Each structure stands twice: as structure tokens, then as C-alpha cells.
Structure 1
């Protein structure tokens, strides 16, 4: 009993001083992640134009076409070998980070960082319809985990640094530090504790500072033709929100069905990886506008007037191209492709408004921007991140009300159509046959933290009256800045941060069980 009390006291003492250690550790994580992502972005900015030029030359010289496909098949084979050797680099990387934070998955952080860096460059550089943000989040999480292991952090401290690294990765990828923090809180960590907030904020700001020193202060998506939408046109937001919500459902279900299709083919990982590279070659020669994540395509919408027919074709091809690339398991995210598709659908609906419903054309770009946020919310189910991300990426806060309307309507539409959050769906599939499941050390203790939600099974109840899972002990309660040492008659309230000690080998199940108790009924 004395040894158990002593162990609790030691862990609580580390916890009380954790905030100050996290400041230093998070600054270091942010700086390191910022440098990794900057190098990745710089190499990519040189690599992709070379491939675009390669495709252009081949389209004018038929003798080069066989060379194009030989190169792409070879690159697809190399990527397939890397995915086969390190399966954790497959796809976006965000579900993998969520799996690690929920103690369901484990990884070799250096191996994942190395292969994701190289694999992401190959896929993005060749022009596959994938984004750089998912890999950036995963690489950032790897840096956070690597630092925690090199400095011998406790298991719970490692989770903070992984979260801060993920936040820094998104921040450096998009020059959007606040969105990086919110995405980590709302999507990856799903926990608003002060420890997570402090570490994520510091790392995200540091990574953004490093990134801006190389790429400048210009927002990632800077639109010169963006006016505030008058209130008399707000009725248009309802319809575009519904259409974008439906588009988001199509995107989510399409990705999952494409994964099923690849799985049903019963072919090797290498062949699966080669398929999207061959498709990329075909489109690079015939329809190069759809290549890559789509950043330049979004920017071009403010200067180019596409016809409704061309936009419709562009939307369909981009949807199918993204499905083919991501479904194969190629290392790359869906973050930017889903924003691009939202922008294209928004442009399509906006053109209908302008041509047939009398909306002035100066507001056309508003529908592009609003649709991006709505598409993100309907697919990822992270509405606050959606609003902040688009605001930071466009460098404008004049559209918060209209953004909120579209985000709410689009997410409600996808909820009504029973569309689950895409990253959670991908994680569930990953866990079915995962070989790298998390296994805690037998006999070791660890701390988990849970935030109590309003009207949950823990809210307004005394500790002694709660049916706690076996082998767990509430060792501390944080209520704002106040630390409470719990007793049997201590009452728990919504907003409390519970620090719970449990066995490391069962911590993933314990986290899930207590999270259900603490969640709103």
C-alpha cells in the first residue's frame, strides 16, 4: 500500500510541474517540426513543376509517352515497397495519429517519419490527387514522439508531445497556427485539457514562425477578389450548405467504397500503388488541371471563368481521381483535395446563382470560400476547425457569420444522411487487421486524463456513487486552476479534468470506457 501511495505521489508531483516542462519541450517540438515541413515544402515546390513540364513535353512529343509511364510505374513500385515495409505511412496519416493517441496503435517513429517524408514527396511531386497536410500532421506527430522517447518522458507526457507535433505539422503546412491547435483539440486528441492546449499552442506558433521565415506572411489562399456577402443574400447559404453537405457524403462514401474495391482486387501492395501513378500519367497528358492537391486550381478560380459544363466535368474527374489515389493506400492526405472539391462545387453553385438568380458576380468567390469550409465540416465533422482554417488560409475574418451558417447546414445535412467522420471511419477499418496494436508494459502504471462533459454519467455525482471500471483510481481533479485531491464524497462537475491512474497494458480500454462515462448522454 505504501509503495502504491508513493508511486501516486511521484506521478502527481511530475504532473504539477508538467506545464512548465511542456513550454520548453513544445517550443523544441515546434521548431523541429517547422524545419521538417519547410524542407518538405521546398523540395515539393521544385519537384512538382518538373513533373508538370515532363507531362507537357510528352503531350507534344509522343516518343516521350512510354518514358513517362515507365518512370511512373517505377515510382509506384517504390512507393508500394515503402508502404509494404512500413504500413503506417499508408494514406493520410491522421487516423494513425488518432490511433496512437487513443492507445490503439503503436509505431516506429523514425521509420514512419523517413518513409512518409520520401513517399509523400514522390506521390505529391508526381501529381497524385493527395494533399500534404495529412503527411505533415503525421510527420509532426513522429517528431513529437521521437523527442519524448529521447528525453525519457512518461507515457502520458508522450501523448502531449505527439499532439503538439501534430498541431505544429498542420500549422507549418498551411501557415495556420490557430487551426493547427483547434484541429488537434477537436479531431486528433479530442480533449480540451489545459496541458494539451498549452503544448499544442506553443508548438503550433513556433512551427508557424519557422515556416513564415521561409515562405513569408502571405496567407496560403490569398484572394484579392473577396467581398463581404450582404445579409439580403444569406438565403443562398442554406442551399449551398445542403448541396455541399451532400457532396461531402459522396466524398466520404466514395473513399470508403474505393478502399473496398482495391481490397477486393486481391493484388499486391506494389500493384495497388502503381495504379494511381498510371492514372496520373493519363490525366497528366490529357487533363493536367486536376493534378496534385489543387492549390493552384483554387487560386485560379478568381481569374478564370469556367463554363458550367466544364466545371461539372472537372468536379467528376477530380472526385474519381482522388478516390483512385487515396483508396490505393498511397502516402498522401485528403485535406486539400476535399477543400478543392468544395471550392469547385461552390463555384458551380455560385455560377448558377449569378446566371439564373441575379446574384452579382462580385460575390462568386464568396461561394467558393464558404463551400470549402462546409465541405471540410461535412466530411471531417470538425466545424470550429473548418471556420478557423478557412479564415486563416484566406487571411480574412469578414466572413465568420456566413462561414458559420454554411458549416452548420452542411454538417447537419451530412448527419441526416448518416455520414460518419471520415478519419474515425478510416481508423476503425485500420484497427480491424492492424498488426501494430498498442501493448502497454505489464505491471507499469500510467495516467490518463478525461474532461467531464455536461449531462454525462459523471456530471454532478460523487466519486463513490460512480460505477468505475476495475483497476483505475482517480488521483487528482483539476477545476480551472484549482487542484482537488479526491475523496469518496468529492463531487464531480462538468468541465472537471480528471487524472486517473491505471495499468498501462489496459490503458486503451480504460480510456475508452471512462470517455464514455464522461461523454454527454
Structure 2
């Protein structure tokens, strides 16, 4: 790789003005917003139909065999769709992560169509799946499609994917900042200021589109919230420990359920979703509150005076039903189901404390909200996103300190128990099955950016003294508002943004090296 090649690629990298990319981010956010609005409307209607149908079946039980035939048909449809396009299976977030590290590839238009209708069929059947995973992947596919239609570089395409993913989550939950933070903290793993601006633009535009259809109110409207007194904050630490342990359990059981489905070798893979749909029929007839993602369940937990016994039943059934639903590979996410499980956990914990006269019952709703955030932090291992997401979804900014404490404790507990982020584990499973593996182009080169953290292993070292990965060239060092042309004697400082030119087939290895050497601390 010659210096002329490096200068040429770097020149092309910076040739597009920031304004142009902001306009393109706006377009991606707008298109993503429209698609997610249609998606949300569709799943709301089919879930409402499903709930009404089960009420009707209680009056006319002779129709149960007919509905069972439809459930089997839904399972066959999902099995066929996933077999034709494996990249639409499950959440979609692990697939987006795989695409960004050049380990997976997808056909953007097939994913948009398949994910949209596959998730709608799953909710029509009543499966315990959320809208956020499909929303993120649909947004990412919009971004990728925009890049391909405009014949843009692989680097720009990755940027557009990040913008689309951020916009997808923002539109799904009316939470633009959570969408931005999730894209940076969990999906992109990069806090580049430029990427942050572009993703924020896409998120705000998508949220604006969504707000025009669903209004400006938060997803969950909890009334009369009273701040928890400081002398009761010890209950938050206990709650963080509980949600941390339960979050680790969630991850282990979810992965075990997927393995259990794979061991059903006597049932063809395309027929296995039928199992989940038939179980959904049994659950829907006996306990319809646990159907769907869990938005309605969370609202009922807050507004209805469930007994602890009933809350425990709902928790167990929702937990197991979510495992079965997601393990079937039906398109759908785990955000809403895990938040509803967290809400049930918080409600049980809160009612138990009131029985013991430790807190007043007026604070139970607070603990429900805090448990949702803590559960998310333990499972996804993205505490900042968890804090922002719950704050935006509830519209309650006065509980930021309380939510932060629970999220932090929960995250630490899951870390002590050596639990890895669920989406990373799901991505490893996808890669092990060689589904949608990226076709590497050995001659193609892309640009990576990474910020040097305080205490990292290359801080205060000269470029020539660092053993860089093979076929990696430092083409620029951005320090504050100026850009430095790197030389062998250039010393790297904490806070520097390194711009690296790497072979496309080495991206995953280089990113791993960056995590250990640049973003990690000295041993």
C-alpha cells in the first residue's frame, strides 16, 4: 500500500461535505421513519385482532381447531421465509453488527420486505417478540440500500447503515437519543463525533415522522410519579443485584433454547416455528396478557392491582414464552419482552417491600421503571443506552439518578458473573452457522476511526514504536480542531482520533486490536 494510494483514498474520504451527508442522513431518517410507522401500525392492528380473537374463542370454543390450522400456516410461512432469506431471522440487531464489522452481508430490499411481513405474522400469531429489533434492521437496510443506489463507497455505506439503525430504534420507541446511543454504544462501537452528528440527524427526523402519527407523548405514560426518598436508596442497590442476576439467567436460557431447537433433528428446520405458534395458541387462550411484545402488559402491571402470586405467574409464563418465541427464529426483537419481564420483576419486588413496610406503595411504579432499565443493562450490557431509553420512554427525567444506580449495579453484577452482551453471543452463533457470510474483497480498502482512551496501551507512544496490525496504515491523527499528518516520530496522545487505512478483509481483526490497544487500559 503506497503513500499515494493512502492520500488518494483519504482525499476521497474527506471530499464530501458535512452538509451533504447531513442531507443524506435526513433522507435516510425520513424513509426509515415512514417504514417504521407503517410497521408499528401493522403490528398494533394484528395484535389487537389476535387479542379480540382469543376473547371470541372463549365464547365459541368450537373455532379453536380452525385457528390452530391458521397457526400452523403461520409457522409454515415463517419457516419458508427464513429458509429463503436467513438474514431476517430473530432480532436483526446481531446481523447489523455483523455487517458493520464485515463478517456478514445482506440483500437490503429482501430484508426490508421479509423482516416487515415476517414480524407482522409473528405478532399476528401472538408470539412474545418486540418491534425494536426489526425496526433497527429495517433502518439499517434502508441505509445500506441508499448507499448502494447512490453508488457510494463501503465506508459511506457503513455510515448510512449506522444512521438507519439509529433512526429505526428512534422511530420504534419515540426515543431519538436512545436510538443514537444504542447505535454508537452497542452496534457501531465507535463514538466518532461526525458519526454521532449524522446518526442524531437521522434519529431526530425519524422521531419527527413517528411523532406526527403517534403524537409527542412517551411510549409509556406513568402518572403521578413521586421521587424515591434518599433514605430508601438502599432498595435500589438490591434491585440492581436482582436484575443483574436475572439478566444473566435470561441470556443463558435464551441461548440454551436456541440450542434446544437445533437438537430437534427429527423436525425439519423450516417446520420448527410451528412449535412456537401452537404454544402461542395455548398461551393466548389461557393467559392472553403475555401475548405480543409486552407494551400492554407493562401498562397493566402499573395500573392494575395484581397480587404477587399473579405477578409471579405472569413473570414465569412471559419468560418461558419469550424463550420459545425467539428460539423459533421468527423475525422479532427481545427489547419489549425483556422490558416487560423487568417490569414484572420490579412489581414483585415493590409489592414485597410494601408488605414488609419498607416502602410505601406509591413507589412501586418507580421500582417497575428502574427494574426495566436494570434488566436491559444486564442483558444488553449497554447501561448508558438503558438509562436514556427508559427516561425517554417514560418521559420522566426526575429519576435519572435512581435509574443510573440500578443500571450501574446491574451491569457490574452481570460483569462479575462473566455474562457477555446478548447480541454479541447471538452474532457468534450466526457466524458459526455461516449464514450470510460476507464475501471478502482482498484488494478493497476502507477507513476506520478510533479515539485513544486515557490509560490505553499506546498512549504517549510514537507511531514507529507501535506494532500495528498487518496491512494497516495510520493516515491521519485528528487532535482537537486540527489534523496532523502522521510521521514515525508523531506521539499519540489520549483523546486523539486515529484514522486508519486497512484492507477490507482485515476489518474484524483490526477492530479487535483497537478495542484492546486503543480503547482499553494498560495492564
Query: Structure 2 length normalisation: TM-score?
Result: 0.97
Q: Is the contact between residue 29 and residue 143 of structure 1 (CA under 8 Å) also seen in structure 2?
A: yes
Larger mean CA deviation between 16-25 and 244-253 belongs to: 16-25
What's the offset of the Cα at 1:245?
1.1
1:351 corresponds to which residue? 351
Q: Deviations over 1:233-267 (max 9, x none)?
A: 11111111111111111111110110111111123
2:442 corresponds to which residue? 442
1:392 corresponds to which residue? 392
Larger mean CA deviation between 25-34 and 434-443 belongs to: 434-443
CA distance in 2 between partners of 1:76 and 1:451 (Å)? 46
1:257 corresponds to which residue? 256
What's the offset of the Cα at 1:346?
0.3
Mapping for residues 100-115 of structure 1, pairs under 5 Å: 100-115=99-114
Q: Deviations over 1:313-372 (max 9, x none)?
A: 111111100000011111100011000000000000000011113411111100000000
CA distance in 1 between partners of 2:142 and 2:248 (Å)? 33
Q: Deviations over 1:458-498 (max 9, x none)?
A: 22111000001221111111223221111111111222221
CA distance in 2 between partners of 1:405 and 1:11 (Å)? 43
Larger mean CA deviation between 335-344 and 305-314 belongs to: 305-314
1:176 corresponds to which residue? 175
**SS of the counterpart of 2:302?**
coil
CA distance in 2 between partners of 1:4 and 1:483 (Å)? 17
1:37 corresponds to which residue? 36
Indicate whether 1:274 and 2:274 are aligned: yes
Indicate whether 1:9 and 2:8 are aligned: yes
Q: Is the contact between residue 86 and residue 435 of structure 2 (CA under 8 Å) also seen in structure 1?
A: no
Mapping for residues 10-159 of structure 1, pairs under 5 Å: 10-15=9-14, 17-159=16-158
What's the offset of the Cα at 1:10?
4.6
Q: Is the contact between residue 339 and residue 376 of structure 1 (CA under 8 Å) also seen in structure 2?
A: yes
What's the offset of the Cα at 1:16?
5.3
What's the offset of the Cα at 1:38?
0.5
**SS of the counterpart of 2:303?**
coil
Indicate whether 1:244 and 2:248 are aligned: no
Unaligned runs of 5+ in 1: none
* RMSD after superposition: 1.4
**SS of the counterpart of 1:483?**
strand
CA distance in 2 between partners of 1:123 and 1:460 (Å)? 53
Q: Deviations over 1:425-478 (max 9, x none)?
A: 111111112142223323222212222222222221110000012211111112
CA distance in 1 between partners of 2:354 and 2:429 (Å)? 42
Unaligned runs of 5+ in 2: none
Q: Deviations over 1:355-409 (max 9, x none)?
A: 1134111111000000000000011010111110110000010001110111111
CA distance in 2 between partners of 1:511 and 1:241 (Å)? 31
**SS of the counterpart of 2:259?**
helix
**SS of the counterpart of 1:470?**
coil
Query: Structure 1 length normalisation: TM-score?
Result: 0.97
Q: Deviations over 1:119-139 (max 9, x none)?
A: 011112321101000000000
2:416 corresponds to which residue? 416
**SS of the counterpart of 2:272?**
helix
Larger mean CA deviation between 203-212 and 191-200 belongs to: 191-200
Q: Is the contact between residue 160 and residue 195 of structure 1 (CA under 8 Å) also seen in structure 2?
A: no
Larger mean CA deviation between 453-462 and 201-210 belongs to: 453-462
**SS of the counterpart of 2:473?**
strand
1:474 corresponds to which residue? 474
CA distance in 2 between partners of 1:357 and 1:411 (Å)? 28
The structure-2 alpha-carbon separation of the partners of 1:18 and 1:451, relative to structure 1 and needing over 3 Å to count, comes to: farther
